[in-house]
């Protein structure tokens, strides 16, 4: 999707994929720096490891404790750090790696743009309290949702997440703006988000317990899984009349944000990126 976007904007850039063993990650980042790459994306399991390997951390990476995007920057004679694209052919003596995280923003933009959800004041049921669930919960709370109902197979992980959110937002605002609770709500919700890995395999059941919660109680359902394009949860949600979207949008929007971080380009050709991602993921 990045190469399609580069082509559309006439940028002579290339996005390449490298498989790197975790034990070689530090060398790989230093190598990319030495070769004056514009930046990197990292995926599992490197996002957590890179946190302690980059030279500088953006607030987004600090907040999530993980890095999915690196931008290489050079130091100007005045001491200012600028993206390497600002240097043309004069090579800066000092280069640093600057870590960002665009995943949570990708989720929020996808919920708003692809599913038409207004997050401030929304009532949300979140399934999953693993890595993805934790990121989603914290970001949703930060966006000002009114209710957050947490459900997870392992109950004490949901309990733990509840107390993390409560303390994070109490400290910040001195009052919990979001009402967080455990278990399925009896009332209606504006949004259900699946952040579990249930649905990746064809034999997987829906992550939602339909004896405890009926999809007719929900207006919109988001599945962070994007392959298959329609999970059992999304098929059932559609049948119940909910608006639905898969996690493909999250993938595309986190990429769009990374694209801006590297290139400085605010007008990202998102539709082109989405088409390219769809083609590469589904047309096989
Ligand atoms: P990720 O980083 O993708 O979130 P993870 O941290 O391993 O991966 O979390 C996986 C999530 O899917 C967890 O919420 C997990 O539930 P548990 O905390 O109980 O393990 C959930 N999950 C995975 N397999 C599941 C299954 N068969 N039934 C229900 N939930 C499942």
Q: Which distant-in-sequence residues (6+ apart) come within 8 Å of 186 by Cβ?
A: none
Q: Give the domain 105-246 fold.
A: Rossmann fold (3.40.50)
H/E element holding 223?
Answer: strand 218-223
Residue 133 beta carbon below 6 angstroms from any ligand 1 atom: yes
Burial class (CB in 10 A: 0-12, 13-18, 19+), 232: middle
Pairing state of beta strands 69-75 and 39-41?
A: antiparallel
Pocket-testing residue among 44, 128, 161, 193, ligand 1, by greatest number of atoms within 8 A of Cβ: 128
Per-residue pLDDT of the chain (284 residues), as tens digits, is: 999 999 999 999 999 999 999 999 999 999 999 999 999 999 988 999 999 999 999 999 998 889 999 999 999 989 999 999 999 878 898 999 999 999 999 999 999 999 999 999 999 999 999 989 999 999 999 999 999 999 999 999 999 999 999 888 775 555 557 899 999 999 999 999 999 999 999 999 999 999 999 999 999 999 999 999 999 999 999 999 999 999 999 999 999 999 999 999 999 999 999 999 999 999 86
Q: Give the domain 2-101+250-282 fold.
A: Rossmann fold (3.40.50)
Catalytic sites, residue numbers: 47
Residue 194 beta carbon below 6 angstroms from any ligand 1 atom: no
User: Model-level pTM?
Assistant: 0.93
Burial class (CB in 10 A: 0-12, 13-18, 19+), 149: buried
Report the separation in Å between the CA atom of 115 and the middle of ligand 1, taken as the mean of its atom positions. Answer: 24
Q: Do domains 2-101+250-282 and 105-246 have the same CATH topology?
A: yes
Residue spans of the domains in the chain: they are 2-101+250-282, 105-246
């Amino acid at each position: 999707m990045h190469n399609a976007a580069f082509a559309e904007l006439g940028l002579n850039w290339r996005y390449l994929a490298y498989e790197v063993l975790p034990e070689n990650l530090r060398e790989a980042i230093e190598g990319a720096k030495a070769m004056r790459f514009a930046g990197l994306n990292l995926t599992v399991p490197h996002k957590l490891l890179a946190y302690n390997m980059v030279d500088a951390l953006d607030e987004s990476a600090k907040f999530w404790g993980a890095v999915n995007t690196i931008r290489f920057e050079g130091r100007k004679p005045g001491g200012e750090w600028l993206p390497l694209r600002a240097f043309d052919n004069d090579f800066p003596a000092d280069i640093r790696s600057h870590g960002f995280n665009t995943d949570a923003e990708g989720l929020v933009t996808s919920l708003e743009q692809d599913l038409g959800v207004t997050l401030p004041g929304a009532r949300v049921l979140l399934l999953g309290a693993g890595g993805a669930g934790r990121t989603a919960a914290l970001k949703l709370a930060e966006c000002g949702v009114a209710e957050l109902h947490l459900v997870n197979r392992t109950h004490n992980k949901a309990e733990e997440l509840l107390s993390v959110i409560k303390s994070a937002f109490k400290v910040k605002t001195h009052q919990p703006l979001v009402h967080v609770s455990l278990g399925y709500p009896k009332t209606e919700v504006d949004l259900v988000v699946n952040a579990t890995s249930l649905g990746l395999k064809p034999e997987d059941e829906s992550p939602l317990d339909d004896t405890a919660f009926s999809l007719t109680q929900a207006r919109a359902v988001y599945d962070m899984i994007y392959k298959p394009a329609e999970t059992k949860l999304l098929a059932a949600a559609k049948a119940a009349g909910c608006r639905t979207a898969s996690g493909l949008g999250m993938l595309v929007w986190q990429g769009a944000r990374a694209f801006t971080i590297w290139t400085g380009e605010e007008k990202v050709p998102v539709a082109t990126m989405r088409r390219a991602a769809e083609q590469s993921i589904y047309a096989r």
